[in-house]
């Protein structure tokens, strides 16, 4: 007995009738482009002449973290990329890999590789990147306090918990963006291929 097509299958069929490339082609294109964009993004992060810009961004992140901690009554001072508690001497260095750039590269590669209009991509990049950096900002502040409580917990949270959480979060942001595009607007508004 033939299975009844699902709503997403109907949408895909309508998109193909409207002149969009078949879903399988779009997925193949994504699977080819995603690793290429990812490699380009990570290479960009590793290129030495971009280091000053990345370090300047990290420095800004540390400055803002110190300001926010002080606003809420905490003790923090920023010194280049080092966040320090002057009252107990605890200090942590925010390295290039800890500023959220690599996670942003992952999201950018996925969104840019996905077949969608430039407007949809732009919205996804803006909202996704903003979410990642806001959560990374919370991560830095949480690690600052955790480090003062116990260095072993700091290490565990820094290396294993937060990094894994970030990957799950990036996957979810991307999934939500794809769902939003695939969702019917009014009744049926299939994914617009670029």
Partner 1 sequence: MSDHQLSDPLRFLLRALVLLALMLALWWLVLLNPLLAGLRLSAELTLRLLPGGSSVSHVTIGPDRNWTFQVPAPAAVVNQERTQQLLGAAAAGSGRIKIRSMKVEGTARYPILFTVSLPLFWAILLAAPGRPRLWRMACGTAVLAAVALLSIAVYAVRLVGGYFQLTTEGFPGFLMDSAMYLAAGVVPYLGPVLVALSLDGELRGLILAGEAAPAAASAISAAPRRRIRR
What tokens does 119 get?
């407007």
Q: Provide the minimum distance between the beta carbon of 164 and partner 1 in the complex, in angstroms, as a whole number.
A: 5
Q: Provide the minimum distance between the beta carbon of 121 and partner 1 in the complex, in angstroms, as a whole number.
A: 15
Q: Compute the distance between CA of residue 182 and CA of residue 188 in angstroms, rounded to an integer.
A: 9
Residue 23 near partner 1 by CB under 8 A: yes
For partner 1, the closer CB: 56 or 167: 167
Residue 153 near partner 1 by CB under 8 A: no
Residue 25 near partner 1 by CB under 8 A: no
Strand partners, 77: 84
For partner 1, the closer CB: 40 or 167: 167
State the DSSP string of 21-75.
PPHHHHHHHHHHHHHHHHHHHHHHHH-GGGHHHHHHHHHHHHHHHHHHHHHTT--
Residue 182 near partner 1 by CB under 8 A: yes
User: Under a CB-based contact definition with an 8 Å cutoff, are residues 65 and 123 in contact?
Assistant: no
> What residues make contact with partner 1 under the rule CB under 8 A?
6-8, 12, 23, 27, 30, 42, 46, 48, 97, 102, 106, 114, 156, 159-161, 163-169, 171-172, 174-176, 178-183, 191
């Amino acid at each position: 007995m033939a299975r009844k097509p699902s709503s997403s299958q109907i949408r895909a069929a309508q998109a193909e009738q409207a002149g969009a490339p078949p879903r399988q082609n779009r997925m193949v294109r994504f699977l080819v482009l995603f690793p290429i964009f990812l490699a380009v993004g990570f290479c960009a992060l590793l290129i030495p002449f971009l280091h000053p810009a990345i370090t300047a961004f990290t420095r800004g992140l540390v400055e803002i973290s110190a300001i926010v901690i002080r606003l809420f009554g905490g003790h923090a001072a920023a010194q280049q990329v080092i966040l320090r508690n002057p009252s107990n001497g605890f200090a942590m260095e925010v390295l290039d890999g800890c500023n959220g750039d690599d996670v942003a590269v992952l999201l950018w590669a996925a969104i840019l590789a996905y077949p969608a209009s430039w407007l949809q991509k732009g919205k996804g990049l803006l909202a996704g990147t903003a979410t990642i950096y806001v959560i990374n900002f919370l991560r830095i502040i949480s690690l600052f306090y955790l480090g003062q409580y116990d260095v072993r917990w700091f290490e565990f949270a820094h290396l294993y918990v937060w990094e894994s959480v970030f990957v799950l979060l990036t996957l979810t942001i991307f999934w939500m963006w794809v769902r939003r595009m695939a969702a019917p607007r009014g009744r049926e508004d299939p994914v617009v291929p670029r």
